[in-house]
Structure formats: C-alpha cells, structure tokens
Structure 1
C-alpha cells in the first residue's frame, strides 16, 4: 500500500498509472473537487489537511509502506509534514517533483525568492498588475499594493467561495477578480492581459504542468514584465521528475 499526496493534475495521472501497474494506493487531497476526480478513476481518497499525527495515524490505518509526495511544488507545509510522518514510522518518503522551467535571464523577467520580494518590486513598478499566485498569500500583496493610487491589482484564482470571500475581506474590488479554473492556453492568457491592460504579471514557478510557460510566453509576446517566485528550497532526499522513475523505484523493493 502506498500513500500518495495528490491534488494536482499530474499527481492524479501518477495515481492512475500506479493503479494500472497493479499497486495499491490511497490518495490524500485538500479539496472536494480533487477528490471527485480521483474517485472517478477508482482510487480511494481522503480529504483534508493533516498534521503530522494525522499522517502517522493514516499510515498505520492503511498499513502504508511508503509515502509518495506528488503535491504542488509550493505545498511546503505538506512536504515537511509528510517527510516527518515518514520518518516517525520509518517508511520511505519519495518525492515526485514536476520539472522546473528555465528562462535564461530574459530582460522582461525578474526571478525572486519570496512573495514579499515580489510585492515590493511590484509596488516600485506600479501600473496594472495581474496576480496569478492563488489566494493563500493574498495578504502580502494587499499590504503592499492595494492602497497605492498608481496601482490597479487584478487577481486570478480558482472559482471557490472561500477565495471570493477572502478577496472581499482584503478589499480587492469585484471587477478585478478573475475566478476561473486553469490551466489556460496562451491565447486566453493574451486575451486576459489585454482585457485588463496588464503591465506586470506575477506568478509562481510551478512548472510546465502548472501552465506557467503559457502565462509567461503570452506576457512576453505582449511586452509585459513578469515576476516569477521561485520554488521553496527543500532537501527532499529521493526525488524523481518522471512517472517512470517513481514506478521503477517502488517496483525495485
């Protein structure tokens, strides 16, 4: 039995491949929509964020022999929690990390290490800013950007009620909220940038599967500046960037 931290599209694909290869697995996800997608493929799913103790209890309950962490590259808390749980019960922790992207010092692109740094730079540059970093760190951008009359901020995020409530509570105008589920093709990104007269786009380096390349490519074609927040630096131990590597690893035992 394998315990898989899922929730993203590539994590779901990995779960399906594991099942097709004859492996027993249980997936954990944060949202009901992610649960539904996995259940349609006949994969057992648990929903909700778990503390270390919760992970340990689940590992013991299903008698998991390893943890495969295929959660989002920016799910730092989930990574650390899963690693600690695996350590406590002495089972392997295996990380599936979707490949990153390299942008070769393009003049329109600025790479930063934190949301705070991205917000500070955006405040200096002013203009029409499109946030595509999700709702989790909206407070950081609200703090730096919302009270500046020379800045107009548009937020693009998942169409969830809690996201809309958070935007309202922080003071983001309804007209500046794009509630859509991606990933988006380049042409749609171009249309949105034009619609909101975007002069600066902020994103996370989530990898090609996260459609970051389409966002960035569309912005560059329009001459829009881009700030990319790099991934958290975590020492995972065993890391694989393709499904074949994961399958070979678990089949070697």
Structure 2
C-alpha cells in the first residue's frame, strides 16, 4: 500500500465513515495503482477540484489537459461506479494525457457513450498494444486508430475536429424564457433559447423550427427558465431525460448560451430522475 492510499484510507475512516462500504469494495481491487487512485478519488468524491488534483498528481501527463477535459474525465469516472470500469478508465489516463487535444476530445466523447464492458475491453486492447498509443505526439508516426473507439474515425496526428457547439437566439415575445438542446450522434451540440408569453409556442415547436427533423442517434432536451435559473429536463419534443453521460455536452451548451451559472439538470439515475446543480466547479446533487 503506497503512502497516498494509506493517507486516503485513514482520512475516510476518521472523517468520512459513510464511505466505508465503498472503501471495502475498493480494497478488493488487485491492481495497486488502480486501488490507490480509487481510494484517493473516493476521499475527494465531493469536490471536483480535489478529484482533479488526484488525477494530475498521479498521472503527470494529465497536467497538460485543460479544466474542461479533466471535468469530462471525472464525469466519465462518476458515471461508471463499478471498480472494474474505473480500473479500466484509470489504465487509460496516461494515454489520454498524451493524445493531441483534438484526438483527446474525440476519445472522451466516445468514452462517454461506452457501456462499462466496452470501457473494459478498450483498456485491455491498450494493455496489449500500448506503444502505438504512446507515440501520439510523434509527428512522424501520427496517431493510429484508437482501439475500442469508433472504428470509422481514425485519430490522425492532428486529431479530428472537436465536436462543435452552436447557439441560436430564437427571439420571441413574452416574459418566459425557454429553450432546447440537441446532441447529434457525431457529438456536435446545438442549443437555442427564446421567449414566449405562456405555454405556446411549445418546446417541441421551438426544437422543430431550430433543429429540424429528429435524426438517428440524436438526443434532445428542453430548457426551462433563463440565466441563473435554467433547468434542463424532459419537455415536449425531448427524447427523454438526460443521463450522466450527457452532462459534458449539456455543460458546453449552457455555457455557450449564457445559462450555465446556477443551472439544474434532471438526470435519470436508474428509473428515477435526480437533480444536479452546477456549482461553478462541477455538478452536485441536490434534494
């Protein structure tokens, strides 16, 4: 057991006893690096900044990743609660840190949509062939296709363009702000906001006018309220409630539209939606 794991265990036992069941599960992780990182992440699980510090101190390559990239990694980590899936993600950390920014952004988008078993298979392929990935910054070698990611999109030395976020102000008359977000299968995001006098035009009317016909793999969510009080949830025209894997895209959309501060998202956790509020450093559950 390394010093950082021992310190994290001690702090949890003394000051956060409610986390002891999770700590017991982490103790069963065979890989010492993964076990240590998971214990440290558990200690700081209530603080995005604390979790960022754990990642950058354990994986120096992640020090080159910007705040948004680190938050995306943390969101993926939180969305995969099993120790097996988290161990797989931890094995990918050095690779993610060494990828060019465009390629890394694309990889994170793909990882966001993976089921836990897919994440584990990706890590296994990486373990079998790490050299190709480690040459990500070699201009001559370029970056080969990422194992386990979308096979139709290769990662060149420049990387594919990062998913785009576009914003449209739909205007309208009335005192009630509303809006919509669409996340395309490609990862591109479009957000629109407007104002209305009452319940009409509906969210579905707004989305149909601004986004067009619903495409395969597209996800849509409604926005209630304006700056400082935005709520992203299931409305007319929505494809359902958001999930945790949608949070990075929703975060970028709300930031682009000037609606991120104080925003709340209704996220589906199992069969029950829960509310998450943007704190300025990440998403935090509220009752």
Q: TM-score, normalising length from structure 2?
A: 0.23
Identify the structure with bigger relative contact order (alpha carbons < 8 Å, sequence gap 6+).
1
Q: TM-score, normalising length from structure 1?
A: 0.25
